[in-house]
Structure 1
Amino acid sequence: MKGKIGILLSWSFILILLSLFLVILYQEKQLEGPHEAFAKQKNEASEPATDLHPTVADKVDQLVEQAEELNIQVVITDDFRSIDEQNSLYDRGRDADGQVVTHAKGGESYHNYGLAVDFALRTHDGDVVWDMNYDGNNNGKADWMEVVDLAKALGFTWGGDWTRFKDYPHLQMDFGYSINDLQNGYYPPHE
C-alpha cells in the first residue's frame, strides 16, 4: 500500500510541475506579440528602412487626399531620416547653433525606421505654417486638429498625445514595435 501511495504522489508531483511549466509557457506566448514572433522567424531577412514603410506612405497619401477634401492643404515636412540626419537634428541647440528640435538621437526615432512623418499646413497664401489654431477652411474648427483626427482614423499615433513631451507635427505608425525592437533588428513586414 505504501508503495502505491508513493508512486501516486510521485506522479501527482510530476503532473503539477508539468502544469506549472505549461502555464508559464502559455503566459510567455501571450506576452509575445504577433510581430515579435514574425520578426524572430524572419530577422535574417529583415532590412533596416531606407524610405517610408509602404503602409505608412500609403496612409500619408490618404491623409493628404482626405484633408484636401476638407479644403486643408497638408505639407509633409519630414519623413524618413537617416541616423546621421537624426544626429544632426539632435545636435541643434546642443552642440550646434539653433533651438532644440528633437529629443531623439540617431536610432531613437521612428523616423529612422520609415514609420513617422512630420506635417504642417499650407495657407491659401502659400505660406507653410505650424499654427494649431489656423482655420483656413473657415468651418469653426482648427485645421490642425482636423488633420490629427483624420490621421488617427487612418491608424497614426499623434505626438501631441504624448505625456513626457509634446511633438505636435509628429505622426507615426509603430505597428506595435518599440524603439528597442527596431534597434534590435525587428522591422514591420512589408505587405
Structure 2
Amino acid sequence: MEKIDLLHPVLRSKARLLINRAAEAGFRIIITQTLRTKEEQDALYAQGRTRPGPIVTQARYPQSLHCWGLAFDIAVIIDGRANWNVAYYDRIGPIGESLGLVWGGRWSGFPDRPHFQLPGYEWSRLETVYGTPSKFIATWKEEKPMPEIPPWKDQVMKEAAQAGIIMPNIHKPQEPADKAFVLAVILNLLRVLTKN
C-alpha cells in the first residue's frame, strides 16, 4: 500500500491533484509523510528533545493531524534528490491552498512549509468525538476516484481556450463541470459566434 493510500479519501484526492498541479508549474514533488503511528509520532517528537537532531514537531501523539490521516508532507525533487530550498515550497504552498488545503508555510509560530492538511479539523475535537485515530479512520467512506482524462480532452480544452470559449487558468479538464461553468461556456460561445 502506498503512503498516499493511508490518507483520508478527500485528502488523498487532493494530494494527487497537488502532485499534478505542481508538475504543471514545473515542480516534481513526492509525498513523504502521511498517516503516522504512535511510535512514529513519538519518535519525531523526541527528536531534538531526548534524541539527537533538530526539533521537527511540536505535537505529541495524537496531537498531529498526521495521526488522524488528515495531513501529509511533501518534498521537492531536484536532480533526483529532495531539495529543501524554501523558495520552492513558497511556490507550491499557494497551489495547495488553491485546492482548499491548509498550508503549514503560513503558520507564524512554527512554519512547516512541506506540510498540508484538510481544513476544519482539530485533533482535540477528533479525540473528544472518536477517542482514537483508528476509530475515526474506521468511519471513512471511500470516495470514487476521479476519472482519467481522455487524451482528446486536452486538445478540445486547448482549442476552446484559443477561441475564447473557456479560460484555461480557471477551467481544468480534470474537474467536473458545474452549472455555472456550463453557462459560462455557453455565454462565451455565443459571444464568439456573434462576433463572426
TM range (shorter): 0.5 to 0.7
Structure 1 residue 159 corresponds to structure 2 residue 101:
no
**Aligned match of 2:50:** 95
- Aligned partners of 1:57 and 1:182: how far apart in 2? 19
**Aligned match of 1:15:** none
Flag structure 2 segments of 5+ consecutive residues without an equivalent.
131-135, 144-196
Structure 1 residue 130 corresponds to structure 2 residue 84:
yes
> What is the letter of the counterpart of residue 48 of structure 2?
G
Deviation sequence 1:56-105 (CA, Å, 0-9, x none): 01100000011112221012111111122101110111111221111100
**Aligned match of 2:12:** 57
> What is the letter of the counterpart of residue 14 of structure 2?
K
- Aligned partners of 1:164 and 1:127: how far apart in 2? 28
**Aligned match of 1:173:** 118
> What is the letter of the counterpart of residue 125 of structure 2?
D
- Aligned partners of 1:66 and 1:129: how far apart in 2? 18
Q: Secondary structure at the match of 2:62?
A: coil
CA RMSD of aligned residues (A): 1.8
Flag structure 1 segments of 5+ consecutive residues without an equivalent.
1-49, 134-142
> How many pairs align?
131
**Aligned match of 1:16:** none
- Aligned partners of 1:77 and 1:95: how far apart in 2? 24
> What is the letter of the counterpart of residue 21 of structure 2?
Q
Between 1 and 2, higher relative CO (CA 8 Å, sep ≥ 6) is seen in: 1
Does the 8 Å contact 2:38/2:61 carry over to 1? yes
- Aligned partners of 2:36 and 2:14: how far apart in 1? 18
Report the CA distance between 1:189 and its aligned residue.
Answer: 5.0
Q: Secondary structure at the match of 2:112?
A: coil
Q: Secondary structure at the match of 2:73?
A: strand
Q: Secondary structure at the match of 1:185?
A: helix
Report the CA distance between 1:173 and its aligned residue.
Answer: 0.5
The match for 2:69 among 93, 96, 114 is: 114
> What is the letter of the counterpart of residue 55 of structure 2?
V
Identity of aligned residues (%): 35
TM-score (norm 2): 0.62
- Aligned partners of 1:184 and 1:108: how far apart in 2? 12
- Aligned partners of 2:38 and 2:108: how far apart in 1? 25
